Amino acid sequence: MKLLVTGCCGFIGTNFVKLVLRQHPTWHVTNLDKLTYAGNRSSLLSEETDPVHYRFVQGDICDAKLVEELVAGVEAVVHFAAESHNDNSLKDPSPFLHTNLIGTYTLLEAVRKHNVRYHHISTDEVYGDLELDDPDKFHETTPYNPSSPYSSTKAGSDMLVRAWVRSFGVKATISNCSNNYGPYQHIEKFIPRQITNLICGVRPKLYGKGENVRDWIHVEDHNLAVLEILAKGKIGETYLIGADGEKNNKEVVELLLTLMGHDAKDYDHVSDRPGHDMRYAIDSTKLRTELGWKPIYTNFRDGLQATVDWYKANESWWRPAKEATEKKYAQLGR
């Protein structure tokens, strides 16, 4: 199998490449990544020593000529590349429109021309949010109701995929996943920011009252689901990926403090993010029953401990970005 995977120098894509090459040592992965601030080529430097199975190409998914050249030589495309940080989308939405909409369109046109299988990685944020006391969860048929520039552009990209399947017969599937955590995640994100703050002797920061609920899933479980969909998913279908990991932000911060040897209440409250969604929750019944997927990390505490251990052991990976990240948050008062 020859794969083109976009955005592999980012968090989930990096872990996906490592999983693919570990589980399928005869496959070849081409990684197309623009190397924006969230991309870290060093995450996959060890893979670059094996050009038979891994190739890095620096480039923009909006570059139609480059994308077509790369798509022409593969059997499938897995599209991870995205602008994904909500705070950044509130400050400047324009890169989100460019990457998430124009980039997806460019890839769809290339796979359409060369009749290549395509899998589109999306987010549960396209569904908006749920009330804290709502017993329901997101399903594949939940109406879209995005609330930020980020989630709006991801919703738009999902709609493009569906249109290209119906209008042009593109062989595509979509997955919408809940919040990922694990190794190689940029420290602007909630969990690694708190971990690295604690390592640096800085008190964690919690938006508002910390009541916002996220449905956490370890990145390894997400990527195993993507491989199942790529292998067995029905063309034109959407699959929701979740591991029943609902926790509010306050619970996560307090568990991190406990795991790292601090008092569970040793954190600061900061002003909430505008339009902050209250609760996400995924119903992954379709994925589990139709494709047989199930998560490995069923205990959030164990997965979080493994994540803490990784950041402690890999300071050289995240420290170069720490100062600039915190400076940006300081300007936002968060």
Which positions are annotated as active-site residues?
124-125, 150
**Which phi and psi angles does 141 have, rounded to 5°?**
-100, 5
The H or E element that residue 162 is part of is helix 149-168
Contacts of 216 by beta carbon, 8 Å cutoff, 6+ apart: 178, 179, 180, 181, 243, 245, 246, 247, 252, 300, 303
Triad 297, 17, 77: Cα angle to 5°: 110
Q: Which residues sit opposite 121 in a β-bridge? A: 175
From the list 199, 171, 195, 172, the residue with the least C-alpha distance to 185 is: 195
Distance of alpha carbon 129 from the chain centroid: 18
Report helix angle 190-199 to 300-313, nearest 10.
50
**Which phi and psi angles does 215 have, rounded to 5°?**
-100, 95
Contacts of 201 by beta carbon, 8 Å cutoff, 6+ apart: none
Helix (H, G, I), strand (E, B) or coil at 173: strand
Q: Which residues sit opposite 175 in a β-bridge? A: 121, 239
For the chain, the helix, strand and coil percentages under 3-state DSSP, each to the nearest 5: 45, 15, 35
- Tell me which residue has tokens 């124009």: 102
Query: Are residues 44 and 7 in contact, defined by beta-carbon separation less than 8 angstroms?
Result: no
Phi-psi region of 12 (alpha: psi -120 to 50; beta: other; left: phi over 0): alpha
Helix (H, G, I), strand (E, B) or coil at 274: coil
**Joined tokens for residue 97:** 């429109």
